[in-house]
Structure 1
Amino acid sequence: MAAKLDELALGYASAIISALIMLLLGILGNIGIYTGAAMVMQELHMFYSLSVTGIIAGMIEAAIIGFIFAYLFGYVYNRFGKS
């Protein structure tokens, strides 16, 4: 029998990791490391920029997107996985 995933726990973990990665990318982008990746994030995320408010907004946006996709993955896994 396949183990069931806790969708909420998976979603929360993904949200936290997504927000922390966005924070790290913002910090590194501001000191001149990974500027290419920071520019790509600015193009892909609506609210992200290298300002303090842009980094916080990007963290919130990444957390929401990460939560939704991970929660949906857990739901689909539990729904259609072998039981």
Structure 2
Amino acid sequence: MLLLGVFGAVGVYEGAVAMMEQWHLFFEPTVVGTVAGMVEATVISFVLVYAFAWLYNALAR
């Protein structure tokens, strides 16, 4: 996400930046948009990994 934010601000990989903007609610090729996209991705990843770990531990018993 950080690399796409930097490359998007420069004008490289515009197709990938456009796809990232569609997939993530807060991502934009600006400093604030890049940080917000990284925070969003962190929260989503934490929730999904936590749910997977909970399910794994529930089924492992």
TM-score (norm 2): 0.81
Other-structure match for 2:42? 63
Structure having the larger proportion of residues in helix: 2
The yes-or-no answer on 1:79 pairing with 2:61 is no
* CA distance in 2 between partners of 1:80 and 1:35 (Å): 43
Other-structure match for 2:30? 51
Across the aligned residues of Structure 1 and Structure 2, the Cα RMSD in angstroms comes to 1.5
Runs (4+) of structure 1 exceeding 3 A deviation are none
Q: Once the 2 structures are TM-superposed, how far is the Cα of residue 30 of structure 1 from its aligned partner?
A: 2.6
Q: Once the 2 structures are TM-superposed, how far is the Cα of residue 38 of structure 1 from its aligned partner?
A: 1.4
Unpaired runs of 5+ in structure 2?
none
Q: Once the 2 structures are TM-superposed, how far is the Cα of residue 33 of structure 1 from its aligned partner?
A: 3.5
TM-score (norm 1): 0.63
Q: Deviations over 1:7-47 (max 9, x none)?
A: xxxxxxxxxxxxxxx11221233334432221111011111
Alignment of 1:1-20 (within 5 A): none
